[in-house]
């Protein structure tokens, strides 16, 4: 009698230590857009919702929350009003450090990607 065949699956290592949650608020209603571990999917959902609010000329807020080991770490938020940007990708919590530190070297490339507005030359600059 043959043994049951088994397949070994090697799991990928997480690209970041963070869990992400992306929320869009418009007309006093909140919509959860993403909840997971991929910073690429989180960024995609975040920036797509910002572009959608701009396109439709709506007021609202887009928030990307980061957590590590189940505890809040920080967030980035963009606020829009009447189709215009009021505040763009403002960090809070420990994410504020990402906006003010040196980016020389290739360490933590995901932090650079998360802290950067698409099309900008570097992370968002924010005065504490």
pTM of the model: 0.83
pLDDT value, residue 93: 93
Q: How far apart are CA 96 and CA 111, in angstroms?
A: 11
Domain count within the chain = 1
Evaluate whether residue 120 is within a structural domain: no
Q: Is residue 117 part of a domain?
A: no
8 falls within a domain: no
For residue 13, being part of any structural domain is answered with: no
Q: Measured between alpha carbons, how far is residue 35 from residues 18, 45, 65, 101, 127 in Å?
A: 11, 10, 9, 27, 29
Tell me whether residue 84 is in a domain: yes
In a domain, 14, yes or no: no
- Residue 2 domain-assigned (yes or no): no
Per-residue pLDDT of the chain (128 residues; tens, 9 = 90+): 567 777 776 666 777 889 999 999 998 899 999 999 999 999 999 999 999 999 999 999 999 999 999 999 999 999 999 989 999 999 999 998 887 777 676 667 788 888 888 877 666 766 65
pLDDT (0 to 100) of residue 81 = 95
Print the domain residue range for 43. Answer: 19-94
């Amino acid at each position: 009698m043959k043994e049951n065949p088994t397949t070994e699956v090697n799991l990928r290592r997480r690209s970041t230590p963070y869990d992400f949650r992306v929320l869009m608020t418009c007309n006093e209603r909140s919509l959860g857009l993403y909840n997971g571990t991929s910073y690429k999917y989180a960024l995609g959902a975040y920036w797509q919702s910002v572009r959608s609010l701009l396109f439709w000329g709506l007021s609202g807020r887009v928030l990307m929350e980061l957590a590590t080991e189940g505890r809040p770490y920080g967030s980035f938020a963009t606020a829009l009003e009447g189709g215009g940007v009021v505040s763009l990708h403002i960090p809070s919590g420990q994410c504020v450090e990402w906006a003010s530190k040196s980016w020389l070297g290739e360490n933590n490339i995901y932090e650079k990607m998360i802290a950067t507005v698409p099309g900008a030359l570097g992370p968002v600059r924010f005065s504490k």
